[in-house]
Amino acid sequence: MDLPEALRDAIETQVMEHEPAQAALVLRNAVAELGADEVAGGLLDAAAVALRRMVAETDEAFEQVELLDRLALDGAVPADNIDLLARMLTMSASTAGGVRPPIEGIVAELGAERALFGAWLTVLSVIRVVAINLERTEVDIADEVVTAVDAF
């Protein structure tokens, strides 16, 4: 399994087929084959694709604190994961802006499981936020993301 295939399968399984347990298995298998650094980096790259699309269409950016508060308030992200999402969202936003920070340090600091959870949470949160902001469905945004991921 290569990285684009794993990312596509995981995102489609979670967002389009609503099978979170199966999506987790896809990611677990990808990590076993490719390593945590590569999978976490790929997930953050996928989130960056959605962010770039949103900015290209709206020419607007979110204030991070407001966005995180909104995600916590509506229950989309548990409060104890907001700091993790903030770190990973910053990495994806930086990548969307053209500067990809190294993922290895954060994986080493947080541990592979926590870093991968954060990267996955970031992809799903970004897909949701971009869909809302562009007034489209999460499936539409996920489809665009997986199409772009295929080109990785």
pLDDT at 148: 93
Predicted structure pTM score = 0.93
pLDDT at 37: 96
Burial of 75 (0-12, 13-18, 19+ CB in 10 A): exposed
pLDDT at 137: 96
Rounded CA-CA distance 13/64 in Å is: 28
Nearest to 94 by CA among 45, 58, 131: 45
pLDDT at 42: 96
pLDDT-flagged residues of the chain (< 50):
none
Cβ atoms 88, 74 nearer than 8 A: no
Amino acid at 62: F
